[in-house]
Amino acid sequence: MLASLLDGEAAGYELSKRFDVSVANFWSATPQQLYRELERLEGDGLVHGRVVEQQRRPNKRVFALTEAGREELHAFIAQPTRTTAIRDDLLVKLQAASAADLPALRKAFEERREQAREKLALYDRLRDHLLDGRSEREHLTEGERMGPYLTLLGGRMYEQQNLRWCAAVLDVLDQRIGG
Amino acid sequence: MLASLLDGEAAGYELSKRFDVSVANFWSATPQQLYRELERLEGDGLVHGRVVEQQRRPNKRVFALTEAGREELHAFIAQPTRTTAIRDDLLVKLQAASAADLPALRKAFEERREQAREKLALYDRLRDHLLDGRSEREHLTEGERMGPYLTLLGGRMYEQQNLRWCAAVLDVLDQRIGG
DNA sequence: TCACACATGTAACACGTTACATGATTTG
DNA sequence: CAAATCATGTAACGTGTTACATGTGTGA
């Protein structure tokens, strides 16, 4: 959340929208978590909220990073990185599948492939928007922050690999089902 | 855990070892979770435990899948697959980094690259062991279960992509730090 | 007029992690 | 002789998910 607020102040609802698109690439959270966490971060002085009155919408509380929040981010980056825990239902299904499960498994992999395609298309749009006409090289050498572009690159590479893997698995499944 | 028990009965401690190696590829769990979960699964009749008395070791309780456990696995495979939640500290660090953070970030990425290399080496050993002299094609068309091989393939592809991404990011970081 | 977007939350529950506890045997 | 491995757990805590609750404004 602190990292997301670097891109500008936001209310809980707006943050949850950001998480749906760009941030979901590397961090997922439900709106409920965000609201709870905002209270805590404000209590710890890492963010500061103010009420913005709106005419035709319910009022909202907009949160901005404080100086302490920025320092917390620097400290976080300097800390040892926790190893990432992977938990993927689809791989469990694949691991456990026997002959009778193959058609259901095939369907699950087609869905995963479709999701990967959609994410890839989304990332490509975000990338074009982020570059805004400049070349990748220009953006990376001259831009202020290279982070958002490189995380997006990571997301794209991840989904491309995902597609290749789905293709390989579907290939095997079709041979097993068909032949 | 049910999927892991397809590879043969095991005690909690043995399961935690399996999770450390092959299963960690797609599902992580602490030993404490496994012990707690084994109790629950036995309560639900999905696994069945028996005490194995040992001479020079503490006795152990070995658990095997029951028929209900196997059915549960089939049902699980047929269910809609939950979308996988990604949460990666390293990507958050990258997203949030500013100029002052680059050296710390570089170190974090070198560590990630090293971890990827080690995992890849482990997966290659597991792959050789799994194939046991046969070709990939033979194993996939003639073997009883293709799951373990294909999950391993997924892990290898994932780590290879990870390596490529680390290389790309380190390249950019070095240009920013050096130049 | 119906559904969706905006906007924020509470409460209950489920799940996961960390610390602690125990004690034998084997390996270096 | 120390450290690692085998073997199993409890208790406390922290985090995450799900269900529920509320109400206005906008677009089809």
Q: Which residue has the higher pLDDT, B28 or A22?
A: B28
Give me the pLDDT at residue A164, please: 98
Rounded distance, CA B111 to CA A37, Å? 29
Q: Does B16 have pLDDT greater than 70?
A: yes
Rounded distance, CA A49 to CA B107, Å? 34
Q: The whole model's pTM is what?
A: 0.93
Q: Which residue of B77, B127, B150, B162 is the best one to mutate when testing the A interface, meaning the one whose CB has the most A CBs within 10 A? A: B77
Per residue, the 3-state secondary structure of A71-85, as one string, reads: HHHHHHHHCCCCCCC
Give me the pLDDT at residue B179, please: 63
Kindly list the distances between the CA atom of residue B171 and the CA atoms of A124, A129, B95, in Å, as whole numbers in the listed order.
Answer: 22, 23, 16
Q: Does A115 have pLDDT greater than 70?
A: yes
**What confidence tens digit (pLDDT) does each residue in B62-116 have?**
999 999 999 999 999 999 999 898 999 999 999 999 999 999 999 999 999 999 9
**What confidence tens digit (pLDDT) does each residue in B21-62 have?**
888 889 999 999 999 999 999 999 999 999 998 887 888 999
C-alpha closest to that of B151 among B118, B110, B123 = B123
- What's the half-sphere exposure (Cβ side, CA atoms, 13 Å) at A82? 8
Give me the pLDDT at residue A179, please: 64
Mean pLDDT for chain A overall: 93
CA distance between the termini of chain B: 50
Distance from CA of B59 to the nearest CA of A (A): 29
The reply to whether the CB atom of residue A28 sits less than 7 A from any atom in nucleic acid chain D is yes
Mean pLDDT of B142-165: 94
**What confidence tens digit (pLDDT) does each residue in A42-81 have?**
999 999 999 998 888 888 999 999 999 999 999 999 999 9
DSSP character string of A48-70: EEEEE--SSS--EEEEEE-HHHH
Span CA (A45) to C1' (C1), Å: 46
The CB density around residue A70, as the number of other CB atoms within 10 Å, is: 16
The bases of strand C with some atom under 7 A from any protein CB are: 6-11, 16-19, 23-26
Give me the pLDDT at residue B80, please: 93
Search chain A and give the residue with CA nearest B87: A27
Taking an 8 Å cut-off on Cβ atoms, the answer to whether B150 and A169 are in contact is: yes
Q: Which residue has the higher pLDDT, B178 or B149?
A: B149
